[in-house]
């Protein structure tokens, strides 16, 4: 073999070594990611759990465009009895049947604080042990096992392009193990994104945002084309058959709709002192009382109640209604002076 041919052969071997070396690096990185996923999933599967009674407070399933293709991102959030906000899913169509104001029981992992399942009246929605997750676990396990079986030649090949590859892999796995172990030892009260505990007054704590017109109970006020009366103060209510342990506050309301059409929805908020954002329940969750409303009002006169799920310790103050550019604040504090 001539010198030129030997050089060409050596260059080819070097090229193959480089390609196989970077391919080995990629496989090791993917195996590390798969191992981390398996570790987190296993920790959540075996760690203790905690259950929270909550109410669905946000359902965002508006279609959007991504790279010119239509998509649906389902973002569902629930408020617990202590006012915390839990993100139940992002992009998971399994929860798209949950509706605003629906009471649920959320199971959280005490190790990671992530939701594992959601229970409503129709059954349990698995967010952790669902079929696609199990399939991902099986595939990740098989891939990790194959890479572990051939880890020595892969490390040797990776060392050809990254001399520190073995140390990097060892350091990464050690750091991941310490992170998971530390997270598992955290107290349960540190989970749940306490930063997302809302102020009960919301934006209306700022006097600039608070409605200019405050209406006492018993007095009728005009809200655009509707005539609204808060007949009494907000009070705790226990709808018949309710087993959710949520604290429910109801406000007696009369709405006259003189227009020839039903009003499908009026933005309604209950604000007050304490934590958490009160959530308006569906009419059927208000004790099935005739006239119970979820913000929609039929033609003619509607007399009933608005029911809200609130956090423990919340003190209702004002009922805020908005329509046609008009915003009214009805004073529904207990003991507030009624209009004569």
pTM: 0.61
**What Rg value do the Cα atoms of the chain yield, rounded?**
29
Task: Enumerate the β-bridge partners of residue 124.
Answer: 119
pLDDT (mean) for 128-153? 83
* Dist CA 60 CA 89 (whole Å): 10
**Pairing between strand 49-60 and 75-80?**
antiparallel
Nearest to 228 by CA among 237, 240, 216, 219: 219
Residue 333 has pLDDT above 60, yes or no: yes
Sorted by where each starts, the structural domains of the chain and their CATH numbers stand as: 3-190 (2.40.50.660), 202-331 (2.60.40.1240)
Number of helices (H), then strands (E), in the chain: 4, 18
Residue 290 has pLDDT above 80, yes or no: no
Q: How confident is the model at residue 179 (pLDDT cuts 50, 70, 90)?
A: low
pLDDT (mean) for 19-43? 78
CB 127 within 8 A of CB 49: no
Lowest mean pLDDT among 72-76, 148-152, 292-296: 72-76
User: Taking the alpha carbons of 73, 100, 217, 260 in that order, is the dihedral positive or negative?
Assistant: positive
Task: Enumerate the β-bridge partners of residue 255.
Answer: 228, 302
* Dist CA 207 CA 79 (whole Å): 26
pLDDT (mean) for 162-181? 62
CB 53 within 8 A of CB 276: no
216-267: pLDDT as tens digits: 999 999 998 899 999 999 988 765 445 456 678 889 999 998 888 888 788 8
- Give me the phi and psi of 91, to 5 degrees please: 80, 15
| Percent of the chain clearing pLDDT 90 (strictly above) | 14
Distances (CA, A) of 131 to 127, 128, 279: 10, 9, 32
């Amino acid at each position: 073999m001539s010198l030129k041919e030997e050089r060409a052969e050596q260059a080819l071997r070097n090229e193959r070594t480089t390609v196989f070396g970077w391919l080995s690096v990629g496989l090791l990185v993917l195996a590390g990611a798969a191992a981390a996923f398996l570790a987190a999933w296993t920790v959540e599967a075996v760690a203790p759990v905690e259950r929270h009674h909550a109410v669905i407070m946000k359902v965002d399933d508006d279609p959007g465009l991504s790279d010119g293709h239509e998509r649906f991102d389902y973002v569902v959030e629930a408020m617990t009895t202590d006012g915390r906000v839990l993100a139940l899913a992002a992009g998971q169509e399994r929860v798209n049947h949950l509706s605003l104001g629906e009471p649920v029981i959320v199971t959280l992992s005490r190790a990671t604080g992530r939701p594992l399942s959601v229970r409503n009246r129709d059954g349990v929605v698995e967010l952790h042990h669902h079929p696609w997750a199990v399939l991902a676990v099986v595939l990740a396990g098989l891939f990790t096992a194959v890479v572990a079986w051939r880890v020595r030649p892969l490390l040797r090949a990776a060392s050809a392009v990254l001399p520190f590859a073995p140390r990097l892999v060892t350091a990464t796995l050690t750091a991941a193990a310490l992170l998971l172990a530390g997270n598992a030892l955290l107290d349960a009260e540190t989970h749940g994104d306490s930063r997302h505990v809302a102020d009960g007054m919301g934006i209306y704590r700022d006097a600039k945002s608070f409605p200019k017109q405050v209406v006492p109970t018993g007095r009728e006020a005009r809200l655009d084309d509707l005539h609204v009366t808060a007949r009494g103060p907000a009070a705790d209510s226990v709808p018949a058959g309710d087993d959710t342990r949520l604290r429910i506050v109801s406000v007696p309301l009369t709405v006259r709709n003189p227009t020839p059409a039903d009003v499908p929805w009026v933005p309604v908020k209950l604000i007050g002192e304490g934590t958490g954002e009160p959530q308006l329940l569906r009419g059927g969750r208000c004790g099935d009382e005739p006239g119970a409303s979820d913000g929609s009002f039929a033609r003619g006169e509607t007399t009933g109640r608005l029911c809200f799920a609130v956090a423990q310790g919340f003190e209702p103050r004002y009922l805020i209604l908005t329509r046609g550019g008009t915003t009214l604040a009805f004073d529904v504090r207990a003991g507030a002076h009624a209009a004569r």
